[in-house]
Amino acid sequence: MTEQTRPEIAIMDGAAALPRRSGELVFHDEWERRAFAMAVSLCEQGQFEWDEFRDCLIAEIRCAESVHAPGDTAAPGYYEHWLKALEAVLERRGHAVSATL
């Protein structure tokens, strides 16, 4: 495994920009960290290209923006989009994920 951040991940900008405060990544809940790490890990292993994941992420964000007005706190958070994008990319590769609740 490489021990350096990949610039295409670390410095995404625009809609896909990672939530940061003074440069630090912001995670509110542990599941956000796990979801972040899984997407990055799979990309590091060559399971998918980062561009594909980022495009899915942007599509999820755009889709939510068309439903929720800016500032609507009922709108999904950044890592909810991230999670959906991860599920979508995995599904394309035949890894159907079903959470049992």
Partner 1 sequence: MSEHHHHHAATSPYLEKRRDGEQTAVLEARVKAIEDLLVSKGLVTTAALDRMVEIYENDLGPMNGARVVARAWTDAAYRERLLENGTAAIAELGFSGLQGEHIVVVENTPAVHNLVVCTLCSCYPWPVLGLPPSWYKEAPYRSRVVIDPRGVLAEFGTEINADVEVRVWDSSAEIRYLVLPERPAGSEGMDEKALAALVSRDAMIGVTRAEAAAA
Q: What angle do CA 31, 82, 14 make, to 5 degrees?
A: 130
Contact between 25 and 56 (Cβ < 8 Å): no
Closest CB to partner 1 among 56 and 86?
Answer: 86
Contact between 45 and partner 1 per CB under 8 A: yes
Q: What angle do CA 28, 31, 37 make, to 5 degrees?
A: 100
- Residue pointed to by tokens 């007005």: 69
User: Counting beta carbons within 10 angstroms of the beta carbon of residue 56, is it exposed (0 to 12), middle (13 to 18) or buried (19 or more)?
Assistant: buried
Contact between 75 and partner 1 per CB under 8 A: yes
Contact between 5 and partner 1 per CB under 8 A: yes
- Residues 23-42 contacting partner 1, CB under 8 A: 23-26, 28-31, 33-38, 40-42
Q: Which residues are near partner 1 by CB under 8 A?
A: 1, 3-5, 7, 9-11, 13-14, 17, 19-26, 28-31, 33-38, 40-42, 44-45, 47, 70-73, 75, 77-78, 80, 83, 86-87, 90, 95, 97-101
